[in-house]
Amino acid sequence: MAQPPSALAAGSVGTVETRYLDLPKPIRLDCGRELPAVRVAYETYGILSPRRDNVILVCHALSGDAHAAGFAAAPPAESTRDGFGAEDRDGTAGKGLGWWDGMIGPGKAFDTDRFFVVSTNLLGGCGGTTGPSSIDPATGRPYGADFPVITVADMVRTERAFLDELGIERLAAVAGGSLGGMQAFQWAVMFPDQVDAVVAIASTHALHPQGVAWNAIARDAIMRDPAWQGGHYYGTGRAPDAGMGVARMVGHITYLSAPALNDKFGRRLQFADDIRYTITEPEYEVESYLRHQADSFVKRFDANTYLYTSRALTYFDLARQHGGGSLARALEDLSARTLLIAFSSDWLYPPSASREIEEALRALGKSVELQVIDAPYGHDCFLLEEARQTPIIREFLSEHGLSD
């Protein structure tokens, strides 16, 4: 539970500690297998109303975790604050800040003076929820690549089972960006009578082929690293850090736009006086930046979790999975009011994907609002443009009676 703010900035939920809950029943998965023992890492912010009707579930993207807001009681060695320029923006405090701290707290987009905000680490994660690095009770060893292949629907089933244990039956809203937005839609489709509103930011109903391809390259980089060892590298003293670093560099570039990279780096050399005539070391500032991103990421994230989560988000396809190929048919039972936010420079989850969802919902007579924000940072905008998203989200929640 969040503690009262102390010396933190105004609007902070204070110092928080990640908690853990062991689910009492197995989770049945789309692949046909069953996970017999699932632990969920989570944090909560705000106060649960007596009627338990003010709950907002926040879902994270590929590299996130349960620590969405406030300052971690035990700050990690490496910051989990993703987003272009996050280190410049956050300074040393960034190592303890939640990944969406600017959006969750008193008076923020997800106002903890009004809402009880719940954030979990997704199934397959490496932030405390059961995943490939967890112990397989059948063998007493880490699952590794024996962990079952999971889907976004499996993540949502796990979240539903977790909320059952908290005694929460209904959600005022489900919100998230990127993969988090996919989870929000999955919630609204799988449990249409349990979700009042969806806030999906920089997301899609199905990743386009170029996005699938980039994810495949990132996964291949990990699996081609000899240190991956078929996914069973735990306890060997070797991990696929080289492949994981390349995967992170590939992924990071897909989250950015060409103008953002040009503005920050241009073609500036690492050493201003001249090139060094080397094929092994960074010559340009942008190359050095990518190496730094890779080195930081491998210290805090598990390669197998990357593989499983990346595969899950590429499988996600509402039309195929729920509509027999029709997006409208997949959404016809959805009753949640929907807010879509997209960003003009996001080519990985482009505004056109959100427009397709908007058009399908409007054709069905559903309540939907689309806001496209003109911003230069690419997909990372959902982590960076907090100030511009906040009034949109606050107004949406207020208009639909979700603010009191």
Verify whether residue 203 is a known catalytic residue. no
> Which residues are CB-neighbours of 2 under 8 A, at least 6 positions away?
13, 14, 15, 16, 43, 44, 45, 46, 69, 70, 112
Residue 106 neighbours by CB distance under 10 Å: 16
Q: Looking at 119, 133, 178, 257, which residue is catalytic?
A: 178
Verify whether residue 60 is a known catalytic residue. no
Verify whether residue 379 is a known catalytic residue. yes
Q: Looking at 111, 346, 354, 380, which residue is catalytic?
A: 346
* Greatest C-alpha distance within the chain: 67
Q: Looking at 63, 79, 379, 380, which residue is catalytic?
A: 379
Cite the active site residues. 178, 346, 379
